[in-house]
A and B are shown apart, each in its own frame.
Chain A
Amino acid sequence: MTAACPACVASPAASDMVAVPDAVQLSVPAMRCAACIAAIEDHLTRLKGVAQARVNLTQKRVQITTDRPVAEMTAALRDIGYEAFPLDSNALAGDVDTAGRELLMRLGVAGFAMMNVMLLSVAVWSGAAGATRDLFHLISAAIALPVVLYAAQPFFKNAWSALRARRLNMDVPISLAILLAGAMSLFETLNGGAHAYFDAALSLTFFLLIGRYLEHRTRSAARSAAKELAALEVYTAERKTARGVQTVALDMLRVGDVVLVPTGARVPVDGCLISAEAHTDRAFLTGESEPVTHAINDPLNAGEINLGAPFEMRTEAVGQDTRLHQIARLVETAENARNRYTSLADRAARIYAPAVHLLAFATFLGWLVMSQDIRHALNVAIAVLIITCPCALGLAVPAVSTAAISRLYKLGFLVKSGTALERLAEVRTVVLDKTGTLTQPGFILDLSDFHQSELGVAKALAQVSQHPLSKALARELTDIAPATLTNIVETSGAGVSADLNGTQVALGRAAWLGREGDGLMLQIGESVLALPYHETLRAGIAQMTSALSAQGYATQIMSGDTAQKTAQIAQATGVQTYRAGMSPEDKIDQIEQLTAQGETPCMVGDGLNDTVALSGAHASVAPGSALDAVRNAADVVALGDSLQNAPKLFAVARKAVRLSRQNFGIALAYNAIAIPIAVLGHATPLTAALAMSLSSITVLLNAIRVGRVA
């Protein structure tokens, strides 16, 4: 920031003198009006330790200057009903978007010059002749040449780098047309010729810059979406040594190190348990929804979450050798296959660029042979280049994808990959993960059949136990008064027993109480009651699956969880096909099999066990609650509960591709009319200007229709 006046330098602003607190960026997808801005900014600035809060409604972000932790800010926003996701401020560091602003500047300059030159050209087209026409051409040249050299630089640079690599891209015919139009017009002007294409050179630059700017915005949105949801995972571990516990970076750990895993933290490495027992949540890793109990010497995998008391483990594999890394390697191979996908625009450019050059060259040769007049032949050939310049083609895809991506953003989807829309549109089968994708994390216990006194006993027992299910039970029974118990004994890894006025009561695993089944059981005297619990579906999931089927998509569930639990969820969502107990390798096999059958699968998943399938599938969606690595593997991230809008996601993608094709059609139709005119030598600057502007504007207007999906 530069100071505005000398006085400001002498007495720096108060804000510069206090130590600058950190800036935190949060993504708040739910904000959409003036009231939201006011509510969020008011609430945040009233918090202690917040210096400033500024909402950006367009990007749906809020920037907070504060020295408090990010978690406090997201919690504060949740209090007033806004779900917030922290953004990675390092990834966003250079996010002032200088490239975008530079493009906008070139666009403004080109627009200004185009309008002025167009005005001067109108005079020429309406019949100015002789000295007046030459004067107007000279003034146009004075405006157009410097502007073209400045504003069209992005095309020149791209074309040059393509030519140096001995390839052709869209920018080669563009640059050639702009440069030749300028040079030929200058030559004609100096020799008193009738036709100058200055306005064509400028409007080409202007319209193509619009396309380039839209493309840039889409791409930078995609780029930051990939990085922006910050890594909440910690890349450090607590290593226990003779001198005490120290926090070290993950890559400092060696095989044999003893690591302390605090409550709620992730297991940092593969290893085995040293403590007597541990309860972990492996849902992210394997898809199992139930907490897993480990005894001493049991193996633990990196990525499991400690649900119980802190435990110690011995490191047995680090870095490349961990299970997590094996998964990451599979992801890389799967991704390579997808990167070979060529987009619609690329395919068009491959045919179009050589065709245009050949056509212009053929025209030049034809006229040279027929008229023996090099200057005339050159003029006609350049006119062909200008007319065929892929102006509308350059706008056809960027305009549509910009409109589609902003529409999807409003529906709660971050589109990360440029070709994602085209791939989503080709999807025929939607493959769904169960745990965490269809279901919410956590359990709901169904306690409606229980008597108050029974619940009192259950709460008293549950309060004592460290088991995650017991803790969930105790939390759920907040309103119940615990019964008074005596002789409470906890049997590690099994349950709790006690005396209630002489009656034997217990809460624990079914097997421990001598019964069949899984989950928790409550014993009071002779009677043993199961505490039924079930997973809850995310909001709107059942409607989503039925809407997908109604649209003609095949749906199936792939889960790492048990067959019984998967079947329950499949029934609740109405999905006919399901597979349970799948490893990450099984999932990618299944995806590849579907691909081979021509079913073009879209994988929807949130677990680390889904990452390989996500990157191997034709297209992929991950919920925002997924881990970093998982979101990186997916094409689209669904924020909040927006997964229920998945049918709309596919609808928008299909419409976007349809409109892109229509746009190509429109552009080609204009060319089909204009090319014969140009090749036969009847093209004038007026026809060029008309064809170019009309086709570009039609294409832009057509693109806007994508926002009208449902």
Chain B
Amino acid sequence: MNVLVLLIPISLILGGLGLLAFIWTLRARQYDDPEGHAARILIDDKD
């Protein structure tokens, strides 16, 4: 059972990283135009 002392903090930290990543995407306005972002990768760069 001692392994829990290690595993629980690790799982919480990993989950927390996911949460931070989500907050970052939210702040970077990545949910403002989901369809547009999906389509834009198909446009050729001109330069």
Contact = CB atoms under 8 A, between A and B. Distances in A.
Interface in A648-676: none
Contacts of B33: 56-59
A510 to B, nearest CB: 56
Main secondary structure of the interface of A (DSSP, over half): helix
A38 interface: yes
A139 B11 CA distance: 12
A34 B11 contact: no
Contact of B40 (A34, A108, A109): A34
A132 B1 CA distance: 8
Contacts of A120: 8
Nearest to B21: A108
Interface in A124-141: 132, 135, 139
Contacts of A116: 11-12, 15
Contacts of A34: 39-40, 42-43
A58 B35 contact: yes
Given A104-B26, A104-B31, A108-B19, A56 B8 contact: no
A105 interface: yes
Given A34-B42, A37-B39, A37-B40, A105 B12 contact: no
Nearest to B1: A132
A215 to B, nearest CB: 17
Interface string A50-67: 000001111100000000
Interface in A20-46: 33-34, 37-38
Interface string B22-47: 11001000011111100110110000
Contacts of A33: 39
Main secondary structure of the interface of B (DSSP, over half): helix
A272 B15 CA distance: 75
A690 interface: no
B15 A115 contact: yes
Contacts of B32: 56, 58
Contact of B15 (A101, A112, A139): A112
B8 A105 contact: no
Nearest to A38: B43
A112 B36 contact: no
Contact of B36 (A56, A119, A143): A56
A108 B26 contact: yes
A56 B40 CA distance: 11
Interface residues of A, number: 23
Contacts of B11: 116, 119
Contact of B34 (A37, A58, A115): A58
Contacts of B16: 112
A57 B39 contact: yes
A34 B36 CA distance: 8
B22 A108 contact: yes
Given A58-B34, A112-B18, A105 B23 contact: yes
Interface string A93-125: 000000001001100110010011001100000
A267 B36 CA distance: 43
A302 B5 CA distance: 79
A139 B23 contact: no
Contacts of A59: 33
Nearest to B5: A135
Nearest to A104: B26
Contacts of B39: 33-34, 37, 57
B43 A101 contact: no
Nearest to A102: B26
A58 B36 contact: yes
A638 to B, nearest CB: 22
A119 B36 CA distance: 35
Contacts of A108: 19, 22-23, 26
B8 A55 contact: no
A143 B11 CA distance: 13
B36 A37 contact: yes
Contacts of A37: 36, 39-40, 43
Contacts of B8: 120, 139
Nearest to A42: B46
B43 A112 contact: no
B36 A55 contact: yes
A168 to B, nearest CB: 34
A410 to B, nearest CB: 11
Contacts of A56: 32-33, 36
A241 to B, nearest CB: 50
16 contacts: A34-B40, A37-B43, A56-B32, A56-B33, A58-B33, A58-B34, A101-B26, A101-B31, A104-B26, A108-B19, A109-B19, A112-B16, A112-B19, A116-B11, A132-B1, A135-B4
Interface of A: 33-34, 37-38, 55-59, 101, 104-105, 108-109, 112, 115-116, 119-120, 132, 135, 139, 143
Interface of B: 1, 4, 8, 11-12, 15-16, 18-19, 22-23, 26, 31-36, 39-40, 42-43
| A-B residue pairs, 7 tightest by C-beta | A57-B36, A34-B39, A34-B42, A112-B19, A57-B35, A108-B22, A56-B33
Given A116-B15, A132-B4, 13 more contacts: A33-B39, A34-B39, A34-B40, A34-B43, A37-B36, A37-B43, A56-B33, A58-B33, A58-B34, A109-B19, A112-B18, A120-B8, A132-B1
